[in-house]
Amino acid sequence: MNNPVEVYNAADEVQASLIVGMLQQNGIRAQVIGGILNAALGELPASSVSPRVWVNDSDETAARQLIETWQLQRTSEQPVTQLPGWTCPRCGTDIELGFDVCWKCLYNPAAC
Ligand SMILES: [Zn+2]
């Protein structure tokens, strides 16, 4: 990168790499600077570092728009919905989520 600029200050490494991946899918070269990896190398103090996403300054505008769109999409996503319960294939009892085995006949789907 000739003139890298910071376009995003991520909360953690996972978020930073998600954004980098998203930008690269859109043809923008991006990289993470900072975060735990660099801190682990002794370059930066871990406590004061959050990973930042950098792109070339020529891509800055496009990158910011992509990140903005990406964040809107993520915040509009439904929270992880609970998995439905399941029906025991042996006795037909409806089992609530949280039970690994049928409470009626003790059928265990994981063991079969
Ligand atoms: Zn059963």
Look up the CATH number of the domain holding residue 39: 3.30.70.1530
In SS3 terms, 29-60 reads as CEEEECCHHHHHCCCCCHHHCCCEEEEEHHHH
pTM: 0.57
Distance 83 CA to ligand 1 centre (A): 19
Q: Which residues pair with 31 in a beta bridge?
A: 54
Confidence of residue 79 (pLDDT cuts 50, 70, 90): low
Distance 22 CA to ligand 1 centre (A): 45
For residue 39, what pLDDT is reported?
52
Looking at the structure, do residues 18 and 53 belong to the same domain, yes or no? yes
Distance 108 CA to ligand 1 centre (A): 8
Among 49, 50, 51, 54, CA closest to 7: 54
Looking at the structure, do residues 27 and 53 belong to the same domain, yes or no? yes
Looking at the structure, do residues 11 and 31 belong to the same domain, yes or no? yes
- Domain of 8 in residue numbering reads as 4-76
Distance CA 55, CA 57 (A): 6
Least confident of 32-36, 78-82, 92-96: 78-82
Confidence of residue 84 (pLDDT cuts 50, 70, 90): confident
Which strand (E) or helix (H) includes residue 6?
A: strand 4-9
pLDDT digits (tens, 9 = 90+) for 62-76: 999 999 999 888 877
Ligand 1 is a single-atom ion; what residues have CB below 5 A from it?
Answer: 88, 90-91, 93, 102, 104-105, 107
In SS3 terms, 68-96 reads as HHHHHHHHHCCCCCCCCCEECCCCCCEEC
Looking at the structure, do residues 54 and 86 belong to the same domain, yes or no? no
For residue 8, what pLDDT is reported?
94
Distance 95 CA to ligand 1 centre (A): 8
